[in-house]
Structure 1
Amino acid sequence: MKLNGSCHCGAVRFTVTAASPYPFMRCYCSICRKTAGGGGYAINLGADRRSLKVTGEENLSVYRARLDDGSLSTGERSFCSRCGSALWLYDPTWPGLVHPHASAIDTPLPVPPDRVHIMLGSKASWVEPEVREGDRCFDDYPDESLAQWHARHGFA
């Protein structure tokens, strides 16, 4: 599925092709929550990095989070330097993928039949996850990838 995305001010626009376009996984880790998650979580999609086309690239900045052990995350979180909108995550550990934030996507996204809540062990105390029947919850990482979730539901 081709996705169109942008920042709030419109200085950065992008397109990307996503085989995993359902916004089903809510991440409550402190990095996602503080850089992109106004509701206490962020939702990342899975897309083909080779298909990423960006206009307004001069307005991009990258943030690499400091981890609990003091090292820098390998993840590169791209955001608009003008308005601060979180746009996507790229991690060279998985060079073929880019993870656009669902909140930056302008294309209508399909509604997931269920959701996965991850990193609940580090959620903020004020966050009350909206867990529905059929949702799965994990204190840390889930037991399946974005691609596996889509395949299990017959979307791949």
Structure 2
Amino acid sequence: MPVTGSCHCGKMSYTLEGDAPTAALACNCSICRRKGYLLHFAPAEQFTAHGDPDATTIYQFNRHNIRHTFCKTCGCAPYGGGTGPDGKAMAAINLRCADDIDLDSLTIHKFDGASL
């Protein structure tokens, strides 16, 4: 069953094909720590963004490996994308913006992005 999610105002949303994640990554880098992301990474071909692309903006920092995508209206960041360690395109979804995901049931893996 696909995973769906959106920003707060609904101007940007997504569908991720496949089973609902059972784990999430909590990174302590400067942006993830401030935004409180709980991330799930998947192959880009499983991800579809919906909505008006003009409603979004992208922020990149440091090595520019991830495109953090934000809603221009409400400021939420439901997804991003980039290149995984294997060199393949990947999608990063913020599970805090996902529909019907029980965050308390997720196994949280901590990632020390602050040390990179």
Q: TM-score range by the shorter chain?
A: 0.7 to 0.9
Show structure 2 runs of 5+ residues with no match: none
- The answer to whether the Cα contact below 8 Å between 2:26 and 2:32 also exists between their aligned partners in 1 is no
Instruction: Give the 5 Å matches for 1:3-152.
Output: 3-18=3-18, 21-34=21-34, 36-37=35-36, 42-56=37-51, 57-65=53-61, 67=62, 72-93=63-84, 94-109=87-102, 111-112=105-106, 114-119=107-112, 122=114, 140=115
Over 3 Å counting, the alpha-carbon distance change for 1:109 and 1:2 in structure 2 is farther
Q: Which one has a bigger Cα radius of gyration?
A: 1
Amino acid of the residue matched to residue 54 of structure 2? E
Identity of aligned residues (%): 22
Matches of 1:30 and 1:81, distance apart in 2: 21
Amino acid of the residue matched to residue 60 of structure 1? T
Kindly indicate which of the two structures has a greater share of residues assigned to strand. Answer: 2
Residues matched between the structures, number: 112
Q: Report the TM-score when normalising by structure 1.
A: 0.60
Q: Report the TM-score when normalising by structure 2.
A: 0.78
Over 3 Å counting, the alpha-carbon distance change for 1:92 and 1:115 in structure 2 is closer
Q: SS of 1:58's equivalent?
A: helix
Q: Which has the higher contact order (CA 8 A, sep 6+)?
A: 2
- The answer to whether the Cα contact below 8 Å between 2:38 and 2:94 also exists between their aligned partners in 1 is yes
CA RMSD of aligned residues (A): 2.5
